Amino acid sequence: MLKVLAVADPAVKVYVDENLNLLKDFPETIDFNVVPWSQYYTTMLDVFAGKADYDVIMVAGHLWLADFAEKGYLAPIELEEEDILPVILQEMKYKNKYYLSPSFCDGHMIVYRKSILKEKLGKIFDSVITPEEYVDAASKISSSGTPGAIAMKAHPSEIFTDALPFLRMGGKDVYDTETLEAMCSEESIIKGLEAYCGLRNYAFPDTDTYGNEEIALTIQNGTAAMAVTWSGQLGVVYNEDCVDKEDLGFSTFNTAWNVTWSFAISGGSKNKEKANELLRFLRSPKIDAIAGAHSGAPVRRQSYLEGKDNFPWYECQLSMIEKAKPLPNMLLAGDKNGVLYEEIAEAFGGRKTPAKAMADAKKRIDQIGI
């Protein structure tokens, strides 16, 4: 038997869906344990510390790869490149070795109601827009008397990555790609955070409690004119519960970020050969097409080409994946990004000014080290 630890994301439910039964053709019993996001990181660290026994674990792509590979938490894997998107293949590597096997992508996608944008703005979004255009649209829709023009994924556990396109709108990023130094106190990033916090004026009052499920619901029932969500949520959004699906339009940011949730083999696994077989099975063209249709974010080019007529966001999303800018591979990335989640939540909640929050973030991240 192989034991798998996976995060409780809607995109992951496809693997344990009893009706689909995707694992039935794999010649080994699979214990697929799905853990809530709020508990996932600590559960994963228990595996690495030898306190829990799993052969395969889900890893948030480049966010965690450097740390986990350097510490020996992950075993190198066998990966046939085939038609997996090249930018995704690059993310699976660390120091020229493959450690990750791609499952689905979570990148910034904008979903909006075409009828509302046509009425309020006189046009719909292009397939790629700037954060400034998004803010302007939210302001105009709100000023026309539309309550809750936007939904924001501003729960403290989501807020850093939700804000990231806006932090980047001045042309700089939160970390220097060469030195890995925190750059979050730069003036352009502070202005980006000010713009992001300003969006709260056009959002639902309780938007700081919103995660994936709340965003999906506001899109599905048409209460929000637009929202930013993850590409790995779009299959769930675009299901039979969605009101007037044909009214949904899709766009992305020119400052988008993407991470590829992936499967990895635990360095402590005693079943590495069988685990490699499972990873090969899970990223196969057949499984990628089926799982991708449910998550909305496959990893193979052929899945996008074959599914584009059924999934209207595929063309835009493929462009997003290929052009999105990742965060740099960093040691202690979880600790450093955790500071940004905390400080951005302080600014969004009005407890600190954006300038103060980013200055404090810079100081705290510098103390963690490079």
What is the three-class DSSP state of 7? Answer: strand
In sequence order, what DSSP letters do the residues of 240-297 get, joined into one string? TTSTTGGGEEEEEETT--EEEEEEEEETT-S-HHHHHHHHHHHTSHHHHHHHHHHHS-
| Alpha-carbon gap, residue 362 to 337, rounded angstroms | 11
| Alpha-carbon gap, residue 8 to 232, rounded angstroms | 12
pLDDT of residue 335: 92
Q: What per-residue string of b and e applies to 254-275 under the rule 16 or more CB within 10 Å gives b?
A: bbbbbbbbbbbbbbbbebbebb
| Alpha-carbon gap, residue 177 to 174, rounded angstroms | 9
pLDDT of residue 268: 93
Residue 159 φ then ψ, to 5°: -70, -30
pLDDT of residue 9: 84
How many CA within 13 A on the CB side of residue 211? 10
CA distances from 188 to 161, 171, 219, 231 (A): 17, 7, 31, 27
Other CB atoms within a 10 A radius of the CB of residue 129 amount to: 17
Contact 153, 344 (CB under 8 A): no
Averaged in consecutive runs of 10 residues, what is the pLDDT profile of the chain (370 residues)? 92 89 92 90 93 95 94 95 94 96 96 95 97 97 84 94 97 95 97 98 93 92 95 92 96 97 96 96 94 91 93 96 94 93 98 98 93
